[in-house]
Amino acid sequence: MIVALDGPSGSGKSSVARAVARRCGLTYLDTGAMYRSVALVCLERGVDPADEAAVAEAARAIDIEFGDAADGSQTVRANGADVTAAIRTPEVERAVSRVSAVPEVREVMVALQRRAGAHGDVVAEGRDIGTVVFPAADVKVFLTASPEARARRRAVQRTGRNLAEDAGAVADAEEERRVLADLVRRDAYDSTREASPLRPADDACRIDSSDLTFEEVVDKIVALSPELAVRAAEERS
């Protein structure tokens, strides 16, 4: 069982994918964290994200590991170092679009992602999961929201809180404006790049989460497949 969940930055893909995986007893695969790890390594080494050859070399040499934290969240290690928090900084956010657009980087990451999903029972989220990585996925979802809603979610995340857990959480208004500008820029870049541009698969179910609660989004995805619904029921029992 493979669930492919695509969508733009800040659409809530990671939180939703984790929740669907947990509810249905599947493995969560955060492909975005993989590209962010490459971007972080490049920044730490002083590699210009525009230097495609150097970025591709960093991607080919990187070792990425996922683990489980005590609180149930996922940890990420790159080349032996815990980068769970470091890959979520604004600096990495600004660099990752350029890094992930390098064709050689995508080839390396897609191969790793397919290897991780080779045995099935995976919820994978990213930008080209349903179109490139797992085109034969059992369930395909394109999750989006208005730029303003996505900017608020991302700005709140940077305060260490999560709207999925605290609907009343707020962020600094100026930070929200900066995040919104970054999201609009990244949307334009991701949707027009030559290598695996951001777009919904033809057979994906499109869900706009702007006016939905977190649980309503998860419910909608689980309801898309009888097998997911059965797995969710089994996990509850």
Separation CA 171–CA 196 (nearest Å): 32
> pLDDT at residue 197 above 90?
no
Residue 14 pLDDT exceeds 80 = yes
Asked which of 120, 147, 181 is the last residue of a domain, the reply is: 120
Q: pLDDT of 74-107, one tens digit each?
A: 899 999 999 999 999 989 988 998 999 999 999 9
- Interatomic CA distance for residues 32 and 76, integer angstroms: 11
Look at residue 70 in the predicted model and tell me its pLDDT: 82
Domain identity same for 111 and 179:
no
- Are 121 and 73 contacting, i.e. CB atoms less than 8 angstroms apart? no
On the question of pLDDT at 190 being above 90, the answer is no
Predicted confidence at residue 215, as pLDDT, reads: 94
Say which CATH number the domain at 150 has.
3.40.50.300
- Structural domain that includes position 171: 1-26+121-237
CA dihedral 126, 128, 130, 133 (to 10 degrees): -100
* Nearest alpha carbon to residue 191 among 3, 6, 1: 6
pLDDT for the residue numbered 33? 94
* Number of Cβ atoms within 10 Å of the Cβ of 126: 30
Residues 128 and 115 in one domain: no
- Residue-level pLDDT at 27: 92
Give the end of a domain, one of 71, 99, 120.
120
Does residue 56 sit in the same domain as residue 1?
Answer: no
Mean predicted confidence (pLDDT) in 24-48: 95
- pLDDT value at 167 more than 80: no
pLDDT number for residue 181: 93
pLDDT score for 99? 95
Residue 10: per-residue pLDDT:
85
Mean pLDDT of 178-188: 91
Residues 148 and 97 in one domain: no
Mean pLDDT value across residues 44-50: 95
When pLDDT is cut at 50, 70 and 90, the band that residue 69 belongs to is: confident
Average pLDDT rounded to a whole number, residues 95-123: 93
Answer yes or no: do 112 and 128 share one domain.
no
Report how many domains make up the chain: 2
Q: Are residues 170 and 136 in the same domain?
A: yes
Q: Which helix (H) or strand (E) holds 180?
A: helix 173-192
Residues 51 and 91 in one domain: yes
Q: 3-state SS string over 12-47?
A: CHHHHHHHHHHHHCCEEEEHHHHHHHHHHHHHHCCC
Per-residue pLDDT band at 73 (split at 50, 70, 90): confident
User: In angstroms, what CA-CA distances link 96 with 18, 25, 37, 87, 110?
Assistant: 21, 30, 9, 9, 16
142 lies in the same domain as 220: yes
Give the side-chain half-sphere CA count within 13 A for 168. 0
- Report, as an integer, the average pLDDT of 49-78: 92
pLDDT at residue 7 is higher than 80: yes
For the chain, how many residues are written?
Answer: 237
CB-CB contact of 165 with 16 (8 Å) = no
37: Cα within 13 Å, side-chain hemisphere: 26
Residues 48 and 107 in one domain: yes
Torsion sign across C-alpha atoms 199, 205, 130, 76: positive
- Contacts of residue 51, defined as CB under 8 A and 6 or more positions apart, other chains included, come to none
Residues 89 and 158 in one domain: no
Which range among 108-112, 152-156, 165-169 shows the weakest confidence by mean pLDDT? Answer: 165-169
- pLDDT on residue 71: 78
Q: What is the pLDDT of residue 120?
A: 84
Query: What number is the average pLDDT over the span 210-215?
Result: 91
Model confidence, pTM: 0.85
